[in-house]
């Protein structure tokens, strides 16, 4: 997916969630204004890719307890110059989970989010413009934690709210998952 293909996909993206439609406009502004939007060196904010991974029953999502942010989140990370955000999401998910394979459910954007990353000693506060794709994996495959996580686990969709303190971004993906039509 080239920069122009991503722009087209964002232009076509629709959501019943008003915050996502506002995010969509901010994404388009970032991508068309800043050539370096796929690089973490753009200190105001940059594109990231995430994988919302469901098991084959679509009753569980794979979450990571992020080391630096100390929160339960979907898997994902920085684009580091790669404009193919689906590939970024898949690469990050495989690296962070130890799974051998995950399957992209389709090539459409599943969710959009812009969130603040707090200042740390080596970087200022900034924004992650996170493009999320829906994946599927086998729950029985072994998981392997890397240095970016405190823990990994499959969590029943109905139990995620308590784990993430009802975080609106995560809960939006949970609700979208529950509403998925069969075969998607």
Structure token pair of residue 82 = 């790669």
CATH code of residue 74:
3.90.79.10
Question: Does some domain include residue 184?
Answer: no
Question: Does some domain include residue 81?
Answer: yes
Question: Does some domain include residue 183?
Answer: no
- The predicted pLDDT at position 181 comes to 82
- The predicted pLDDT at position 69 comes to 85
Question: Does some domain include residue 155?
Answer: yes
- The predicted pLDDT at position 183 comes to 54
pLDDT tens-digit readout, 61-88: 999 999 888 999 999 999 999 999 999 9
pLDDT tens-digit readout, 152-172: 999 999 999 999 998 999 999
Question: Does some domain include residue 165?
Answer: yes
Count of CB atoms situated within 10 Å of the CB of 40: 18
With tokens 């087209």, the residue in question is 8
Domain that holds residue 65: 3-178
The fraction of the chain above a pLDDT of 70, given in percent, is 98
Is 90 exceeded by the pLDDT of residue 146?
no
Mean pLDDT of the chain: 93
With tokens 């100390």, the residue in question is 70
Of the pLDDT bands very low, low, confident and very high (cuts 50, 70, 90), residue 149 is confident
- The predicted pLDDT at position 57 comes to 94
CA angle 80, 134, 24 (to 5 degrees): 65
Question: Does some domain include residue 115?
Answer: yes
Question: Does some domain include residue 91?
Answer: yes
- The predicted pLDDT at position 1 comes to 63
In the chain, the number of structural domains is 1
pLDDT tens-digit readout, 84-136: 999 999 999 999 999 998 999 999 999 999 999 888 888 889 999 999 999 99
Distance CA 94, CA 176 (A): 23
- The predicted pLDDT at position 184 comes to 54
Q: C-alpha distances in angstroms, 184 versus 26, 56, 107?
A: 28, 11, 11
Of the candidates 163, 166, 130, 131, which has an alpha carbon nearest to the alpha carbon of residue 62? 163
Is 70 exceeded by the pLDDT of residue 40?
yes
């Amino acid at each position: 997916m080239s920069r122009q293909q991503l722009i087209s996909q964002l232009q076509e993206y629709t959501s019943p969630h008003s915050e996502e439609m506002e995010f969509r406009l901010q994404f388009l502004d970032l991508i068309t204004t800043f050539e370096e939007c796929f690089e973490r060196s753009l200190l105001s904010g940059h594109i990231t890719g995430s994988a919302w991974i469901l098991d084959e029953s679509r009753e569980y999502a794979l979450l990571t307890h992020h080391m630096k942010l100390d929160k339960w989140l979907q898997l994902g990370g920085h684009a580091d110059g790669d404009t193919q955000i689906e590939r970024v999401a898949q690469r990050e998910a495989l690296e962070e989970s130890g799974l051998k394979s995950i399957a992209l459910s389709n090539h459409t954007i599943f969710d959009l989010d812009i969130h603040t990353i707090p200042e740390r000693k080596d970087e200022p506060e900034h924004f992650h413009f996170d493009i999320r794709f829906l994946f599927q994996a086998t729950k029985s495959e072994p998981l392997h934690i890397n240095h970016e996580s405190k823990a990994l686990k499959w969590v029943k969709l109905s139990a995620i709210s308590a784990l993430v303190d009802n975080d609106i971004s995560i809960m939006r993906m949970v609700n979208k998952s529950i509403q998925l039509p069969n075969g998607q």
